[in-house]
Structures are given as structure tokens and as C-alpha cells.
Amino acid sequence: MFKNYFFYRDKELFCENVPIKELAKEVGTPFYLYSKKAIEDKIKSYKEAFKNYPTLICYAAKSNSNLTLLKIFQKNGFGLDTVSGGEIYKGILAGFEASKIVYAGVGKTDEEIKYAINLGILSFNVESEQEVDVIDYLAGKLGKKANISIRVNPDVNPKTHPYISTGLRKSKFGIDIDEALKVYKKAVKRKNLNVLGVHCHIGSQILDISPYREAVEKVANLVFQLKKDGIELEYFDIGGGLGIKYKPEDIPPEPKDLADLILPIVKETGLKLILEPGRSLIGEAGALITQVIFTKNKKDKHFIIVDSGMNDLIRPSVYNAYHHILSVERKDKKVVADIVGPICETGDFLALDREIDDVKRGEYLAVLSAGAYGSSMSSNYNVRPRAMEILVDGDKFFIIKEREDYDYLINKELKPYCFVKDNL
């Protein structure tokens, strides 16, 4: 499906020049596998599309915050889009300059805000009037100025899954666009704030890009209105959200399509552009490799039970998301099966009623397009250590996250437990 990065050579699935079966035998399963070439090609296509306009591309850390992957984006001159103190912490560790970090989120705590003010980040993307007050107050206490943009909610429908639609009036994100002018007027009077931008992010996995035009036009009108009122901004941040290929028949938009659509409008405002892509940079570059533990036939159904479940990849359970799944060794015989994990929940599946190669116990499957919102949404549910992560570069591979072990899982509980049990 992604013929340059994950493909069959004879009957064996490769990631770049690494045969996946041999790798799996060597390191064990489950693991996330990323193609460096896939990431670099996406980086190139974004840079190329926006090279003629002053643009800072901020990789959305929440899609995948592995330090090594962050480093790849940092080395390529990207900024970082964050939504928590933890993401900012990892970003700084990966070498991002604070002046290239933007920070969104409806529930920033005082601790997180102070941390980011002290670092001097490029922009807080502020999501409520109260947050304006709090950032101003905390900056004042620290004797610093904080840079802010207002996240406006343009009330457009991105035509994606409701859980990842963020730009509708009824959603919790941002400030309604017709309230924004009032909030700007208030914010520019605050002496501990630099009001330098406007931000919006309408949703994720957007395959039809026309809603971007609607959103950008609405926000541009706000920028013109602000200018009339003497409020000059520097940045126009349009968020992320470009969709990727999950099903073989999906035809996702390219960064170039987005550039052609929005740049004419952004140019009129004269503001510098910020983008915050996550999924479209890392999603197709990753696969989850898992081993078949058992197969079983019930009356009407064939089940393939694998060693990774909703704790590793929760998208099928939460969003009913489709991930294309390939057998690591291609077979001629096909079956229709539910591919399920070991977790004690009926919602624990990777695919339902899927036509798939007739794999047997001990063989391997590759769950594609798992690079974004895969490892970053994983958990230890059922006391399962989280998967290893591996980066492939040509014919070499690097372990970029070790598999968690049982010690890791009890680490933060053990001391309290020893204390409490002796005092019970």
C-alpha cells in the first residue's frame, strides 16, 4: 500500500530494506516500526509546498512524541506544537528552541503555564478569556512577558469523526469567532502579554480540504477587523489536520493542495504562517508489528488473536478506525476474521470481519498507518508493558524505545505499597 516504505519482496514484507519477519524474530513483538525515509519524504513535501511564503511548520507532538522522531523534525528546522507541559519538556530535550514552540490546550495548569513562560515559548494558543487573565497574572508574578495568540473557533465542519472535530461552535475548543474581537481588545491592554497571533485548528484526518478555506477566510476577516481597530498581529496559525491513507482506496490531500488553497488568503493578511501537522507527517510512516498467538473458530466467526491490543493501538476501539493489515509473509489462501487483542474487553480489536491472509499461530501481522496516535495513545491497561519502537534507515534499524518491563510498571507504586502494607 505504501510501496516505497512497506512493501513485499517476493512473499516477504519489508520496511525499507529490513525484512520484518527476521526483525520480529530478533527483537520480539509487539513493536512499532517507523520508516525514516517516509518521514523525510513528508517533511520535504511540506517544506516544498510552503517554501515561497514565510512559514513555520510546527510538528504536533501529540501524534507521536518519541524523542528520536522529535529530533528528526527538529533537525529539519521544524517548530513544535504542544498541548502539555510534558510535551514541552520532551521538545526541549529533543533540542527545539523555545522560540519555536507553540502551546495549545483548553486546560493548561498554572504549573504548566509558568514552566512555558519561563522558557519563553513562541506562543500560548489561548482558549478562553479566563486563560488570558491567568497568563497575564502569572507572567506578571514572574516578571516576564508572555506571547499569546487567541485560538478562535471558526464554526466550520471538517467532515471527519466527531471525536476529532474541534472547530464547531459546540466543541470545547477556542473562543467563538464573534467573541474574539472583544477578547483581543482586552488582551492588548494587559501589560504582561504580547498579543502576536491568531490560531485555529478545525479537526483531524481531514480528507476533503474545502473546510480549510472556509476557516481561513473567516479568520482572515477577523484579522482585517483587528487591523481596523489598530491591533496588528504577526502570525496566522491554521493548525493541523491533513488526513492520511488508512484504507487502500483513500486519496489523501497533499501539502501542496493545502498551500494552493490557503496561501492566497493568508497572503492578503500579510501575516507569517504557522502550520501544526501531526498525523500527515508521521502516520503513514509507522506500522505496528504483532504476532499471532492463537486462531480459533467459533460458530460463525474466525478469530485471529494477536499479542497487541487496544492498549497498544486504541484507534479501532475509540474511533472505530480502519487500519489496513498485512500478513508479514504473504499467503495465497484468505480468510475473513476478527483480528483481536488479548485484553478483556469486547472493544479490544484491530479489525472486524476483515479479509486477510490465512495466518497461523506464530506468524506476524503488520498494522499499517499506525505511526500517529498509536504509541502516543498507548497505555498499560491490563498491566501490559508498552511496545518497543524501532526506526528503520535503509538496511539498518535502531531501537528508539525499549520495551517496558514489569519493574517499570510497578516502579511508582512499590515504595508507597511497602510503606502502606507494613502499616495496614
Ligand X SMILES: *Cc1c(COP(=O)(O)O)cnc(C)c1O
Show which residues are catalytic.
Answer: 344
Cα–Cα distance, 349 to 166 (Å, whole number): 26
Query: Cα-Cα-Cα-Cα dihedral of 151, 154, 155, 156, to 10°?
Result: -120
Residue type, 413: E
Shortest distance, CB of residue 84 to ligand X, whole angstroms? 11
Binding status of residue 175 toward ligand X by CB under 6 A:
no
Cα–Cα distance, 135 to 145 (Å, whole number): 9
* Distance from the Cα of residue 179 to its chain's centroid: 29
The sign of the torsion formed by the CA atoms of 172, 176, 179, 181 equals: positive
**Cβ pair 258, 212 in contact under 8 A:** yes
Binding status of residue 255 toward ligand X by CB under 6 A:
no
Angle separating helix axes 255-269 and 210-228, nearest 10 degrees: 20
Binding status of residue 309 toward ligand X by CB under 6 A:
no
Cβ-based nearer residue to ligand X, 108 or 279: 279
Cβ-based nearer residue to ligand X, 137 or 322: 322
Cα–Cα distance, 49 to 91 (Å, whole number): 25
Tell me the β-bridge partners of 58.
79
Cα–Cα distance, 315 to 356 (Å, whole number): 19
Binding status of residue 83 toward ligand X by CB under 6 A:
yes
Cβ-based nearer residue to ligand X, 79 or 278: 278
Which H or E run contains 286? strand 286-298
Cα–Cα distance, 368 to 314 (Å, whole number): 14
Binding status of residue 116 toward ligand X by CB under 6 A:
no
Cα–Cα distance, 58 to 104 (Å, whole number): 12
- 199: nearest Cα among 82, 372, 43: 82
Q: Which of residues 325-384 bind ligand X (CB under 6 A)?
A: 372
* Residue recorded with cell 472556509: 214
Identify the residue among 136, 276, 284, 363 touching ligand X (CB under 6 A): 276
Cβ-based nearer residue to ligand X, 16 or 276: 276
Binding status of residue 278 toward ligand X by CB under 6 A:
yes
Cell readout for 305 is: 488473536
Cβ-based nearer residue to ligand X, 156 or 306: 156
With b for 16 or more beta-carbon neighbours within 10 A and e for fewer, the 286-297 pattern comes to: bbbbbbbeebee
Binding status of residue 154 toward ligand X by CB under 6 A:
no
Q: How many residues bind ligand X (CB under 6 A)?
A: 18
Cell readout for 359 is: 495466518
Could you tell me which stretch among 20-28, 214-222, 271-279, 410-418 binds ligand X (CB under 6 A)?
A: 271-279
Could you tell me which stretch among 14-22, 274-282, 323-331, 382-390 binds ligand X (CB under 6 A)?
A: 274-282
Binding status of residue 240 toward ligand X by CB under 6 A:
yes
Identify the residue among 239, 309, 316, 341 touching ligand X (CB under 6 A): 239
Binding status of residue 241 toward ligand X by CB under 6 A:
yes
Shortest distance, CB of residue 60 to ligand X, whole angstroms? 3
Could you tell me which stretch among 183-191, 258-266, 276-284, 350-358 binds ligand X (CB under 6 A)?
A: 276-284
Binding status of residue 285 toward ligand X by CB under 6 A:
no
Identify the residue among 90, 190, 218, 279 touching ligand X (CB under 6 A): 279
Cβ-based nearer residue to ligand X, 202 or 388: 202
Cα–Cα distance, 235 to 226 (Å, whole number): 13
Q: Which of residues 43-72 bind ligand X (CB under 6 A)?
A: 60, 62-63
Could you tell me which stretch among 275-283, 314-322, 355-363, 387-395 binds ligand X (CB under 6 A)?
A: 275-283
Cβ-based nearer residue to ligand X, 165 or 280: 280
28-to-75, 78, 307 alpha-carbon distances in Å = 30, 33, 10
Binding status of residue 204 toward ligand X by CB under 6 A:
yes
Which positions touch ligand X (CB under 6 A)? 60, 62-63, 81, 83, 104, 201, 204, 239-242, 276-280, 372
